[in-house]
Structure 1
């Protein structure tokens, strides 16, 4: 390959248009790349990959996405001849570039509130199959960041939570699910973006914690590596414990010393998007796009993702090659990894039919996650959740930014009579608050359901809850933002439910599980909530569950010589279902060999939950050593001479061979 082709494989950029030859956004493509169509962008730079965005007209419908993908693959085949990585941020929740009819998911923290790796794998499989059907072969997911900072402005609900072990388990399961559908997972944002209070899209986050704290943030990434993750994305954050000067994306200490050498990662490394502001805000050291590209490669990145100036990126790398700052061998190292990955992952191969996108089965999985995620954080006597759909009339109100109108039809589906008072915007006006309080005072209102999404940071939303709580009807506050908002809910609000998002699928779990009780809520906080003075208001794992607690009975393994009698013993256990290597396994003996994994889950989850700290996973590798064959007997009970003679002959042959080998190995005099 030429140097330009090597650079092209490392450059992955977005394109404007809904088809490969679309000229409707030629002005945007020309301003950025100097050509008119998406196909021409791919051909000009011999791109290794592209990114899809809704604002670039890439994701209008599943059919359109599939057509665009096919056209871009054809352009790559006609140009470099190398299949194209086609990528998208489809995390589920608030970062989902492809909208409905693709399946809408509740998001990372909602998944974390289920504490269920089986659902995490199902989510990965769902995303993988739908993306593969649309010709997308890389998902920039899962988010493996521990969200340990309530003030985090960019991760928040995208993270599964704050517990290293729990997030690690969910991360690994999502990776396995995605990649089982031949779509690469891109775990992000290494070495952890969850303890920041600056958004790297707009500023440069700096974390000052020690190495011991950093090690906790690395746990989910180590789990992703163990699960065989194809790609790891770097974070544009300065981790002072590793490199006090350069952000992770540009730091050899982060991407080479830590990720490659210490953690042993051998897959692809990508930068986060290079058009984010963090990389242009290094104190006293302004960098242009060519500088950034060269530093990222020197740090250990294989992929230069979405540079704002691809011409400058290419020129910067070419100049570094000419000066010796970079070598061709260094580029070949990364491109070899990229090409090997493309071959092994089957990049460019056709995916499943489009009818899998938004299928009934997938929507049911999303709804199950939502129902299992809904977390009841407060339920005082005057409210007594769940409510009675047949008798209770509800008033739905809330901040416009929390989309209360999405909740109304879901409650009506459950049988409630619902009225609503709505206002746009994130700060409820005084006039709106007065109207909501007046509506709540009507005699037939059994309860008020108020959605909020930034309670800690919005005095007007706090005032709405305070004024409603002073009225006669009990109030249920639905926290559509992060559950840290529990700290700002007035004490006289008797009901609080966390939905972990304001989408329809997030509210489905609130309506069904928390308010109507058709599915009993099992969600638990995946983060701890503290007051401003540090007082713990709700511990990680807290949730008012209405299900019965059960403890799985220990699984045992019978491992005799050979394999014929090796079995897994599944005990009978009320409220517990066992899975043997992911497949349901009822009580009794199950023949097994090799390495096996047994997991336990509540059955059904609408009635039972597993005790905190209970053992839910057992692993065993059976010894395949064959037993000695029992000698045969003839009719009179005597042992026939031929098997014995054969055995003697075998022993003689082994001994003779050993002596001969010893003679060959004896050193000469």
Structure 2
């Protein structure tokens, strides 16, 4: 039986430090938190195994009872989920009802941290989310918004990438989050990639590597004021046409291709000291002939990542609920295989109790040793120690508003975004010449509304007419009729290259044939511009309001476009010949 005397001291120490942090006048306690090794020696096997799991819980506060918790975890509140399973971490999503506004998030963070240090292993939590920015953004305004990785790739500035990550990390930490599952280091060399796309910096591995390294440093160099980064998805998810959420992608890169295309961003992240690396649920048969996804492959996680690249930090799996990792093995076996492969943190298993029981049974059966569990737990604890989580897991909710979405952060975000807008085609349309009436149509209610507002602020009468990603023939006809009554039409496209969304291409084509000035804008993947011509084509790589403001500045000639394509835009009619080559971008 482990002694609880020392553990009580750990809990008391953490609470005292937390109280000092929350006080505006209190001084730091002289008690020190236990080190990673000291904590490890105090844990039972069940508590060690719990430290390896990160999952979600439902509820606006740590003590909010939600029927979804009872159904999935057998208890009512997030705090009870933490206590029951001795969790190492919590991950937040909007669908878990845990992300609303910054002060609420901070109070939720403090609540689950208090639950953690008052139960089980008495160890504070890793609290995480996927705030990649751009397409994958979990916390919206008033938190500072950026256009995402591919836009940063168009801007070409490592300093901008670093600053974007620093601002994002500092704001997350102010809300009590200490891990960001970012940046995405995948090199998007496949324009048909349904899951990465604009989440990637570039199709050029060296550009992707420079910006990945810059973001790791941005997230982490602030120390206890920043967050842990987690570069993903190793060994590289950029060349697939299958979404690993719904299937098991197979990437046929051989060793030479992997070293040239996929490896550079991960090697750069490791050089920068990334706290964690996230695995991919992909099969790489020319690198590992086991047939297992990389998450379950000793060849990939131990051989390539740890032994070849020399990585010594935490390896975290992508969500274990994704189909890409569940196709070949039962849920109780998946976490065991992941640990055997070299993973440390097991993210979001399909059934948490089944997963934990599977690991415990594997230890008791000898398939996993307790020493193997200890290695992973030590890495997790050392990460918490390094980021100051063991010393002080709490934040001050009263200070959140002065740290999140500040005027300085918003101004930096706008300046960075202004350098990313890329003009691909311009048949004497841009900049606009004092239009009186402007129609903004196409994909995205929020984006069309934001752009119409920004245009209207410049003087013209502007109208938003969203038609969605799959406009009907009637919606297309309506937009064409409305275009006839306006001087200029700006039409937004979003993944129009996807066959499911091809009606957007019909919309652009019909508008272009009206003879009125038309500006087509790809607000996600720039690949749309290769599929249909318009008098002007612009790529913003994002549909966020900050990107729409930057676009408006280019439309009205307030700024010259400065972005350069970070990927090649193919011409579907001429395979092998780009419609717009890598690095292309018009300016004036």
Shorter-chain TM-score bucket reads: 0.7 to 0.9
1:94-493 superposed matches below 5 A: 94-181=135-222, 182-215=226-259, 216-244=261-289, 245-282=291-328, 287-347=329-389, 348-351=392-395, 353-354=399-400, 355-381=402-428, 383=429, 385-388=430-433, 390-400=434-444, 403-423=447-467, 425-442=468-485, 445-456=486-497, 457=499, 458-490=501-533, 493=534
Task: Quickly say closer, same or farther: Cα 1:419–1:340, change in 2 above 3 A.
Answer: closer
SS at match of 1:239: coil
Aligned-pair CA distance for 1:401: 6.5
Could you tell me which of 34, 40, 43 is aligned with 2:80? 40
1:557 is aligned to none
> Which whole-Å CA distance do the structure 1 matches of 2:106 and 2:176 have between them?
5
Aligned-pair CA distance for 1:446: 3.1
Task: Quickly say closer, same or farther: Cα 1:525–1:205, change in 2 above 3 A.
Answer: same
SS at match of 1:92: coil
Aligned-pair CA distance for 1:393: 3.1
SS at match of 1:238: coil
Contact 2:110–2:393 under 8 Å retained in 1: no
Task: Quickly say closer, same or farther: Cα 1:183–1:314, change in 2 above 3 A.
Answer: same
Q: Scaled by the length of structure 1, what TM-score is found?
A: 0.77
2:9 is aligned to none
Task: Quickly say closer, same or farther: Cα 1:403–1:49, change in 2 above 3 A.
Answer: same
Contact 2:233–2:280 under 8 Å retained in 1: yes
Contact 1:402–1:453 under 8 Å retained in 2: no
> Which whole-Å CA distance do the structure 2 matches of 1:164 and 1:472 have between them?
41
> Which whole-Å CA distance do the structure 2 matches of 1:229 and 1:421 have between them?
44
Deviations 1:509-564 (A, max 9, x none): 1111x201212210111100112322111111110023xxxxxxxxxxxxxxxxxx
Deviations 1:58-107 (A, max 9, x none): 10110111001001111111012111110111010121111111112111
1:664 is aligned to none
> Which whole-Å CA distance do the structure 2 matches of 1:138 and 1:454 have between them?
30
Deviations 1:406-446 (A, max 9, x none): 210011223333234344x322232332232233223xx33
Aligned-pair CA distance for 1:400: 4.6
Deviations 1:568-620 (A, max 9, x none): xxxxxxxxxxxxxxxxxxxxxxxxxxxxxxxxxxxxxxxxxxxxxxxxxxxxx
RMSD between aligned alpha carbons? 1.5
Aligned-pair CA distance for 1:370: 2.1
Aligned-pair CA distance for 1:351: 5.0
Structure (1/2) with the larger helix percentage: 2
Stretches of structure 1 lacking an aligned partner (at least 5 in a row): 547-669
* Structure with the greater alpha carbon radius of gyration: 1
Contact 2:530–2:580 under 8 Å retained in 1: no
Contact 1:392–1:417 under 8 Å retained in 2: yes
Stretches of structure 2 lacking an aligned partner (at least 5 in a row): 1-42
Contact 1:255–1:300 under 8 Å retained in 2: yes
1:54 is aligned to 94
> Which whole-Å CA distance do the structure 1 matches of 2:305 and 2:549 have between them?
40
> Which whole-Å CA distance do the structure 2 matches of 1:4 and 1:318 have between them?
7
Aligned-pair CA distance for 1:168: 0.7
Aligned-pair CA distance for 1:448: 1.4
SS at match of 2:491: strand
> Which whole-Å CA distance do the structure 2 matches of 1:343 and 1:237 have between them?
32
Contact 1:234–1:269 under 8 Å retained in 2: yes
Runs of 4 or more above 4 Å deviation: none
> Which whole-Å CA distance do the structure 2 matches of 1:399 and 1:86 have between them?
34
Could you tell me which of 123, 131, 137 is aligned with 1:82? 123
Structure (1/2) with the larger strand percentage: 1
> Which whole-Å CA distance do the structure 2 matches of 1:401 and 1:419 have between them?
12
SS at match of 1:187: strand
Q: Scaled by the length of structure 2, what TM-score is found?
A: 0.88
SS at match of 2:232: strand
Shifted more, 129-138 versus 481-490: the winner is: 481-490
Aligned-pair CA distance for 1:403: 3.8
> Which whole-Å CA distance do the structure 1 matches of 2:354 and 2:438 have between them?
59
> Which whole-Å CA distance do the structure 2 matches of 1:257 and 1:247 have between them?
14
Aligned-pair CA distance for 1:462: 1.6
